[in-house]
Amino acid sequence: MKRLKVEWRRTDSETLVHLFIYGDSRSEEQHQDYYERAHFFNDRVRDGIFSIRLDNLRAEDKGSYRCKVFSKKDVGETVVQIKDFEHLIVAGSNHPVSAYVGEDVTLSCSVDSHIQPEEVSWRKKDKDGDIPVLLFQRNTILPDSSDDLYRDRVEFFTDEIPKGNFAVRLKSVRTEDKGDYMCHVKNGHLSANSTVIIERLGFQSQTQRHRKEIIVS
């Protein structure tokens, strides 16, 4: 196995999709269009099976792919093709979200597809691992899926879900809420995601709060 070299490339451009060499997968060698999207099935590699899984399919992924295997004595190859396929298009916000501490903010996520998602998960990106914010699964909102940091502070707009709108309202934002939030959508073998950034969280002065109270009253 350590003497094998396996290359997956596009046939039209020779773009490197994935590489296995000297007994290891070399994800650092992947072209940026496939980095962290193309994966070997590591539990099958030891059996000599070098199929790959391509996540988050895009329209531009259509085309032919060549798997070429180099051994000490021989070279073999096969070609597979991705033809027309259904895909999910997930859109978020093009601009970072700013707010005052204590305000409510809306994190946008919409699905432009005729496919009803099986699962929509909101998570906050964190250096120690993603933090669960809220989960929609099999037509059910699961509030118990939220981390304690977000318990009872986040909700979907339930009337908007049938329209493909999976935005969430985050109530009473705190300084620690600042960061990147990912809306990940799955349906069968299809998946896609979008990201919303809470960038600035300021504090209201007494004058600003007083002005709001006057307007409300």
The residue ranges of every structural domain in the chain are 5-82, 90-202
Tokens standing for residue 140: 């059910």
Q: 90-202 sits in which CATH class?
A: mainly beta
Using CB atoms within 10 A of its CB, is residue 124 exposed (0-12), middle (13-18) or buried (19+)? Answer: buried
**Could you report the per-residue pLDDT of 50-102, keeping only the tens digit for each?**
999 988 777 788 899 999 999 888 899 999 999 876 677 899 888 899 999 99
pTM: 0.59
**Could you report the per-residue pLDDT of 9-38, keeping only the tens digit for each?**
999 999 999 999 988 899 999 999 999 889
- Beta-carbon-side half-sphere exposure of residue 154 (alpha carbons within 13 Å): 30
Q: From 2.60.40.10, 1.10.579.10, 3.40.1190.20, 3.40.50.300, which CATH number describes the 5-82 domain?
A: 2.60.40.10
Tokens standing for residue 67: 């798997």
Whether the Cβ atoms of residue 17 and residue 85 lie closer than 8 Å to each other: no
